[in-house]
Amino acid sequence: MFQVEEPTYFYLLAIIPLMVLGFFLLWLWRRKTQRKFAESKLLQRLSPDRSTFKGVLKLLLVSLGIALLTIGLVNPKVGTKLETVKREGVDIVFAIDVSKSMLAEDIAPNRLDKSKRLVSEIINQLASDRIGIVAYAGQAFPLLPITTDYSAGKMFLNNMNTNIISSQGTAIAQAINLAATYYNDDDQTNRVLFIISDGEDHDSNAAAAAESVAEKAGITIFTIGVGSAKGGPIPIKKNGVTESYKRDRDNEVVITKLNEDILKEIADESDGAYINGSNTQEVVDFVKETLEGIDKTEFEAKQFVDYKDQFQWFIGLGALLLFLDIFFLERKTAWIKRLNLFNEKKAA
């Protein structure tokens, strides 16, 4: 396990592509200027020791040196000691709708991105709770098992899109039943399921599934509605540009609307609650207040408790490469010339 101390320094890596661009532009300028002076064969005779490869090698050394120094400034740390610790919290599973209707832009920037932001902000408020993520559309898919690794949760969350599940629809019942398998019976933790969706359910068994898991597994379900009652079309984009909108069999533009009724019904069946997800802060405050009112259960979790700095290796190697760059001149090396690798002597 590793972590970084100062990720802001990663922005320094932007220097490398700028250097490459500058090198390429300088090479083009030199080539153009030299052609004005003389033909290429004459230039080779006038400057036989000039090496193009050495210039590229120097660029590679400097770029690699800067990259290593940047990593050193970021200060990566490697976990060296794994311990089992006691924590108190709640097991929380987020079931996120990734059907095509979540691309509707009736709520900025679109329903899916809004859902991801809501979950990310909720995770930011957690301290010792465990989280899991389920994605669902026409079927449910386990994305992240129950864990205390919030950074992993955010990584999976950021990569979530409407293409991760091929079958379309909104199978909320499947998502509920899959989420119920996430909880570890041995720990007997309090269990909470957050369903984030526009409520366009193509499965009429959602409410029944909510009632069943609430009764059998003791799971409390809270639903968060994302979208608007007015609704909006589903854009079809290419390279980020909207080309058209999804149409039905009659060639009419499909308008998808937030269905709060089904989401409220699901929440009611499990003694949970529904909240509209339009205002991010209101949702975060609601979740925070809700979790504070739930009794915490003690459970065991393994985590790295001792991290060692690794910056010195990267700083040292980066500095060495920049130091070596000083000794590389942009002319051919004598012993390489004697090898006659490219038959230069014959050509002369």
Mean pLDDT computed over 4-30: 86
348 pLDDT tier (thresholds 50, 70, 90):
very low
**pLDDT for res 342:** 47
Whether the predicted pLDDT of 31 surpasses 90: no
Split at pLDDT 50, 70, 90, the class of 297 is confident
The pLDDT mean for the chain works out to: 82
266 or 47: whose pLDDT is higher?
266
Provide the pLDDT for residue 169: 73
Domain boundaries, the chain: 2-75+310-347, 87-302
Q: Does residue 305 surpass a pLDDT of 80?
A: no
Which helix (H) or strand (E) covers residue 220, if one does? strand 219-225
> How far, in Å, are 93, 102, 202, 263, 266 from residue 173 at the CA level?
15, 18, 10, 12, 10
The predicted pLDDT at position 335 comes to 47
Q: Any idea which residue has 């390429």 for tokens?
A: 24
Compute the distance between CA of residue 118 and CA of residue 196 in angstroms, rounded to an integer: 9
What pLDDT sits at residue 242? Answer: 84
Average pLDDT over residues 325-330: 70
Superfamily (CATH H level) for 87-302? von Willebrand factor, type A domain (3.40.50.410)
Give Cα separations from 234 to 104, 255, 257 (angstroms).
5, 7, 10
Task: Label residue 275 by pLDDT band (50, 70, 90).
Answer: very high
pLDDT at 347 over 50: no
Q: What percent of the chain has pLDDT over 90?
A: 31
Q: Which residues make beta-bridge pairs with 301?
A: 85
Give me the pLDDT at residue 4, please.
74
Q: What percent of the chain has pLDDT over 70?
A: 79
